[in-house]
């Protein structure tokens, strides 16, 4: 871009001039507890201490051998470093020297220091040892199996170890015993972190994925995908609401913990990102790299560049009104927005939620919108006036799903508080609490007559609730977490799917089931055809499969997606299937041949949701690229991506990756701050 003679006053770059350290690789860094200083250590075995306000390095501490790790102690003035032969400490503010002291403890291959600096854990493939630094005494000496790394809990009471057998184990520091083993499917784990409130554990792996686990249950709750190379570092924000990650792909990602959504991508490093962290107020991120630089990024949402008339955030869900004339969207900025399809203009903004809105749905007559949010409330809105009619309060955990009854008189909701709640729409009152599940309830829906509810849970059970007779029937069969359960159209059968890679077909009257096997990874969802003769299922193995309900045989495997298939649905009297995937594409398939007949790939970010109009003529999709797209489904046998009938991109907003200052012309530009001038020179 050419910025000659441009006035740049008030322009926000979102990045600060980087700190050039040495030609050596930066291996890690850490803030002092008071956030006044930051240290980093490099392959030249020097620890450098920089004052954040002055942006100047005021101490260089030379270690006696290769540094394994280094950190500040709680007094803000002492730095401790560990090598295999020595533990060394320095006072960074001492006059006339560093006041160094050396503790002669022979350590093993790898070392971690407790958050308060009082203990060290040293470990190798077959042994874990813990030392008290003050007394130099050995606290723990345990044999282990193939330990690759360990990490302290924030309060120092426990450590988590992980190994080449990919099973993270949690140890008590007081007893020295294993007290928890995490459950799930692991790749080769590169690292783990624990949230400040001790409720969540994350792992990151060589398959470029971050996984978040619930500490109490040991089960996985989020999978974060976006990096294209090995992840080297991940950290929680101070309030545990966000995660920052750095990778060999040279990028820094910021994620929302509750939703698992990608919030920002920070690009600028020219080599591998080796460590990342948040500043105390979480509005800035620091990263270091093997390019020899440390970079500070301003991530405050309120300072993002506004690119359109409306400042919108990540779109978390979309719905077409029953008559196809309006689009409702839910956003991470806590709002719901209503759009007119014909004019493509925003009609209304619904405000009231205090946290990101997870999802929305129209009533069957289109007069009401229901929204649910991470603020743990459900809200009912009048479409015509834009006013909030009712707020439904009761859930104690994040709400997973909300559904209308067929007559629009009731709502059913399910939550991570392990409960299902039934609400009266007119009064806004809770009329039933169903609480027999022992873990998170993932799905709940009414039968057509509104007298029964089908639910599925991560306690590996499906339950059929007879509301009128106050009875509950429990079905067991799946061997791992259940992701979904759906009635057949005649409501005589139920199909369910699970992390055990199977789907099951259940007889509603007897509760008996049969297993359908074929998928090689977790099955995300399954659905009956309109005449209940077929089932489609979609999976993390990148395939969609079609099954015959009566002879229990697999009919077709639909292959073409390059990543996990997130949703699939029958179209046009079951002659076609539409699907979307983590590969950022929407695909349409012919059921009889199993061939792909249409490819829609305009989205540049992960697709977050898809909705089909009632007449199957339009597809509505939303993405982390901050766009909503409305597509037309034509009936041609094959449509190339360049010929696809794409109607409109409704909006594109927010900070866009790909905007670069590289090779730009800045002659006689005015209004830049000193920091911005330095950044322009560096870029």
What is the spatial distance between Cα 298 and Cα 279, in angstroms, rounded to a whole number?
Answer: 10
Coil, helix or strand for 657? coil
Range of the domain at 372: 306-391
Better-predicted residue by pLDDT, 572 or 362: 362
Nearest to 332 by CA among 65, 653, 683, 671: 653
Q: Is residue 230 part of a domain?
A: no
Q: Is residue 314 part of a domain?
A: yes
Could you list the beta-strand ranges (E) of 144-230: 147-152, 158-163, 169-172, 178-181, 189-194, 200-205, 209-214, 220-225
The sheet carrying 377-382 orders its strands as 357-362, 368-373, 377-382, 388-393
Per-residue pLDDT band for 655 (boundaries 50, 70, 90) equals: very low
Q: Is residue 458 part of a domain?
A: no
The pLDDT score that the predictor gives to residue 145 is 66
Per-residue pLDDT band for 45 (boundaries 50, 70, 90) equals: confident
The pLDDT score that the predictor gives to residue 304 is 27
Q: Is residue 203 part of a domain?
A: no
Which of 266-275, 305-314, 334-343, 519-528 is the most confident on average?
Answer: 519-528
Per-residue pLDDT band for 281 (boundaries 50, 70, 90) equals: low
Q: Which of 72-86, 422-436, 569-583 has the lowest mean pLDDT?
A: 72-86
Q: Is the pLDDT of residue 343 over 70?
A: yes
Q: Is residue 476 part of a domain?
A: no
Q: Is residue 387 part of a domain?
A: yes
Q: Is residue 353 part of a domain?
A: yes
What is the spatial distance between Cα 286 and Cα 279, in angstroms, rounded to a whole number?
Answer: 7
What is the share, in percent, of the chain residues with pLDDT greater than 90?
36
The pLDDT score that the predictor gives to residue 1 is 52
The pLDDT score that the predictor gives to residue 608 is 85
Q: Is the pLDDT of residue 602 over 90?
A: no
The pLDDT score that the predictor gives to residue 557 is 96
Q: How many structural domains are present in the chain?
A: 1
The pLDDT score that the predictor gives to residue 545 is 97
Q: Is residue 269 part of a domain?
A: no
CATH number at residue 339: 2.40.10
The pLDDT score that the predictor gives to residue 554 is 95
Q: Is the pLDDT of residue 5 over 70?
A: no
Pair 402, 381: CB distance under 8 Å: no
Q: Is the pLDDT of residue 500 over 90?
A: yes
92-116 pLDDT per residue, tens:
887 534 445 555 555 666 777 887 7
Q: Is the pLDDT of residue 303 over 60?
A: no
Better-predicted residue by pLDDT, 50 or 299: 50
Better-predicted residue by pLDDT, 87 or 420: 420
Better-predicted residue by pLDDT, 31 or 431: 431
The pLDDT score that the predictor gives to residue 161 is 80
Which of 166-175, 240-249, 653-662 is the most confident on average?
Answer: 240-249
Phi, psi of 170 (to 5 degrees): -110, 130
The pLDDT score that the predictor gives to residue 625 is 76
The pLDDT score that the predictor gives to residue 683 is 53
Q: Is the pLDDT of residue 401 over 50?
A: yes
Q: Which of 81-85, 395-399, 467-471 has the lowest mean pLDDT?
A: 81-85
Burial label, 593 (beta-carbon count in 10 A; 0-12, 13-18, 19+):
exposed
């Amino acid at each position: 871009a050419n910025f000659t003679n441009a006035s740049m006053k008030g322009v926000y770059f979102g990045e600060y001039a980087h700190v050039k350290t040495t030609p050596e690789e930066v291996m890690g860094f850490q803030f002092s507890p008071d956030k006044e200083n930051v240290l980093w250590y490099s392959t030249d075995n020097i620890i450098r201490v920089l004052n954040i306000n002055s942006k100047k390095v005021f101490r260089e501490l030379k270690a006696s051998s290769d540094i394994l790790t280094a950190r500040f102690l709680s007094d803000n003035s002492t730095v401790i470093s560990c090598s295999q032969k020595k533990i060394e400490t320095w006072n960074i503010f001492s006059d006339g020297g560093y006041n160094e002291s050396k503790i002669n403890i022979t350590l093993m291959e790898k070392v971690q220091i407790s958050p308060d600096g009082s203990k060290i854990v040293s470990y190798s493939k077959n042994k874990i040892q813990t030392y008290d630094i003050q007394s130099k005494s050995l606290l723990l000496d345990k044999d282990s199996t193939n330990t690759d790394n360990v990490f302290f809990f924030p309060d120092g009471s426990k450590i988590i170890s992980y190994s080449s057998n990919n099973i993270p184990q949690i140890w008590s520091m007081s007893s020295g015993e294993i007290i928890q083993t995490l459950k799930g499917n692991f790749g080769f784990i590169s690292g783990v972190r624990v949230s400040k409130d001790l409720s969540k554990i994350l792992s990151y792996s060589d398959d470029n994925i971050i996984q978040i686990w619930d500490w109490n249950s040991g089960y996985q709750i989020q999978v974060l995908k976006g990096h294209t190379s090995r992840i080297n570092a991940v950290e929680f924000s101070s309030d545990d609401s966000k995660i920052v990650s750095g990778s060999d792909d040279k990028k820094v990602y910021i994620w929302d913990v509750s939703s698992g959504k990608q919030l920002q991508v920070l690009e600028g490093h020219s080599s591998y990102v080796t460590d990342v962290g948040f500043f105390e107020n979480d509005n800035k991120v620091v990263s270091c790299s093997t390019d020899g630089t440390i970079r500070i990024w301003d991530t405050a949402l309120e300072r993002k560049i506004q690119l359109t008339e409306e400042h919108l955030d990540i779109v978390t869900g979309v719905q077409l009104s029953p008559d196809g004339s309006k689009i409702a969207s839910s956003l991470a900025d806590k709002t719901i927005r209503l759009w007119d399809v014909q004019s493509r203009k925003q009609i209304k903004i619904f405000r009231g939620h205090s946290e990101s809105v997870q999802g929305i749905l129209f009533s069957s007559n289109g007069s009401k919108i229901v929204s649910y949010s991470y603020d743990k409330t459900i809200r009912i809105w009048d479409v015509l006036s834009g006013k909030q009619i009712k707020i439904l309060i009761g859930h104690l955990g994040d709400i997973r799903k909300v559904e209308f009854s067929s007559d629009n008189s009731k709502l059913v909701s399910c939550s991570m508080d392990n409960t299902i709640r039934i609400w009266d729409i007119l009064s806004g009152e809770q009329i039933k609490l169903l609480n027999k599940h022992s873990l998170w309830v993932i799905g709940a829906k009414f039968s057509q007559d509104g007298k029964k509810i089908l639910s599925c849970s991560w306690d590996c059970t499906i339950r059929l609730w007879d509301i009128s007779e106050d009875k509950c029937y429990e079905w067991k069969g799946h061997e791992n977490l259940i992701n979904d359960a759906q009635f057949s159209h005649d409501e005589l059968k139920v199909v369910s799917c699970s992390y055990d890679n199977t789907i099951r077909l259940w007889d509603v009257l007897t509760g008996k089931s049969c297993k359908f096997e074929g998928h090689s990874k977790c099955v995300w969802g399954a659905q009956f055809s309109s005449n209940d003769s077929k089932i489609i299922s979609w999976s993390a193995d990148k395939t969609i499969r079609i099954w015959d309900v009566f002879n229990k045989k697999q009919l077709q495997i639909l292959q073409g997606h390059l990543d996990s298939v997130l949703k699939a649905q029958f179209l046009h009297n079951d002659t076609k299937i539409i699907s979307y995937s983590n590969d950022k594409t929407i695909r349409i398939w012919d059921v009889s041949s199993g061939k792909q007949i249409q490819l829609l790939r305009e989205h540049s970010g992960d697709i977050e949701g898809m909705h089909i109009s009632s007449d199957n003529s339009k597809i509505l999709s939303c993405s982390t690229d901050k766009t909503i797209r409305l597509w037309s489904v034509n009936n041609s046998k094959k449509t190339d991506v360049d010929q696809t009938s794409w109607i409109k991109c409704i909006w594109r907003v927010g900070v866009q990756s790909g905007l670069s200052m590289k090779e730009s012309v800045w002659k006689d530009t005015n209004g830049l701050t000193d920091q911005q001038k330095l950044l322009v020179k560096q870029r």
